[in-house]
Amino acid sequence: MVAGHLRIQNGYYQMILSYKDENGKRKTKSISTGLEVKGNKRNAERMLTAARQSFLPESCDDKEESAGEETVVAGNAENTSKETGDESPPFCDFILEWLEMVKRSIELTTYGSYEQTVKHCIVPYFEPKHLTLKDLENNPNVIQDYYQYEILEKKLTTNTVIHRHANIRKCLQYAYQIGLINSNPADRVERPKKNTFSGSAYSEDELQELFRLFRGDPLEFAVITASFYGLRRSEVVGLKWNCIDFDAGTITIRHIVTQATVNGKFITIAKDRAKNKSSLRTLPLVAPFREILLRIQEEQAEQRRVCGKSYCTEYLEYIYLDPVGKLIRPDFVTQHFSLMLDKNDFRKIRFHDLRHSCASLLFSHGVSLKEIQEWLGHSNISTTANIYTHMDFNKKLSSANAIIGLLGKEKESTSAAN
pLDDT tens-digit readout, 271-321: 876 555 667 889 999 888 999 999 999 999 999 999 999 999 999 999 999
Q: Write the pLDDT tens digit of every residue in 21-38.
A: 777 666 778 888 888 888
- Do 246 and 277 lie in one domain? The reply is yes
> Of 60, 87, 114, which residue constitutes the final position of a domain?
87
368 lies in some domain: no
pLDDT at residue 88 tops 90: no
Strand partners, 100: none
Report the CATH number that the domain containing residue 217 is assigned in CATH: 1.10.443.10
Work out the percent of the chain whose per-residue pLDDT is above 70: 80
Q: Write the pLDDT tens digit of every residue in 1-27.
A: 677 777 777 788 888 887 777 776 667
392 lies in some domain: no
> Of 195, 215, 233, which residue constitutes the final position of a domain?
195
Q: Quick one: pLDDT at residue 82?
A: 30
Could you tell me whether strands 26-36 and 71-73 are parallel, antiparallel, or unpaired per DSSP bridges? parallel
- Do 75 and 175 lie in one domain? The reply is no
Task: Give dist(CA 102, CA 223) in Å, integer.
Answer: 37
pLDDT at residue 193 tops 70: yes
Q: Quick one: pLDDT at residue 150?
A: 95
Q: Quick one: pLDDT at residue 309?
A: 94
Containing structural domain, residue 73: 1-87
Domain total of the chain = 3
Q: Quick one: pLDDT at residue 267?
A: 82
379 lies in some domain: no
- Do 167 and 234 lie in one domain? The reply is no
Q: Quick one: pLDDT at residue 292?
A: 93
262 lies in some domain: yes
Determine whether 6 is exposed, middle or buried from the number of CB atoms within 10 Å of its CB (0-12, 13-18, 19+).
buried
Average pLDDT (158-178) is: 93
pLDDT at residue 418 tops 80: no
Q: Under a CB-based contact definition with an 8 Å cutoff, are residues 47 and 33 in contact?
A: yes
Q: Under a CB-based contact definition with an 8 Å cutoff, are residues 328 and 237 in contact?
A: yes
Dihedral over Cα of 340, 343, 346, 352: its sign: positive
Q: Write the pLDDT tens digit of every residue in 241-284.
A: 999 999 999 999 989 998 887 777 778 888 876 555 667 889 99
pLDDT at residue 203 tops 80: yes
Task: Give dist(CA 58, CA 164) in Å, integer.
Answer: 39
Q: Write the pLDDT tens digit of every residue in 212-239.
A: 999 999 999 999 999 999 999 999 999 9
- Do 57 and 135 lie in one domain? The reply is no
Task: Give dist(CA 139, CA 137) in Å, integer.
Answer: 6
Burial state string for 151-167 with b = 16 or more CB within 10 A and e = fewer than 16: eeeeebeeebbeebbeb
- Do 263 and 169 lie in one domain? The reply is no
Q: Quick one: pLDDT at residue 84?
A: 34
* CA-closest candidate to residue 170, choices 99, 260, 93, 110: 99
Q: Quick one: pLDDT at residue 85?
A: 39
Which residues lie below 8 Å from residue 185, measured CB to CB, with a gap of 6+? 136, 137, 139, 140, 143, 172
Q: Quick one: pLDDT at residue 76?
A: 37
Q: What is the mean pLDDT of the chain?
A: 82
Q: Quick one: pLDDT at residue 65?
A: 36
Choice among 59-68, 98-107, 198-207 with the minimum mean pLDDT: 59-68
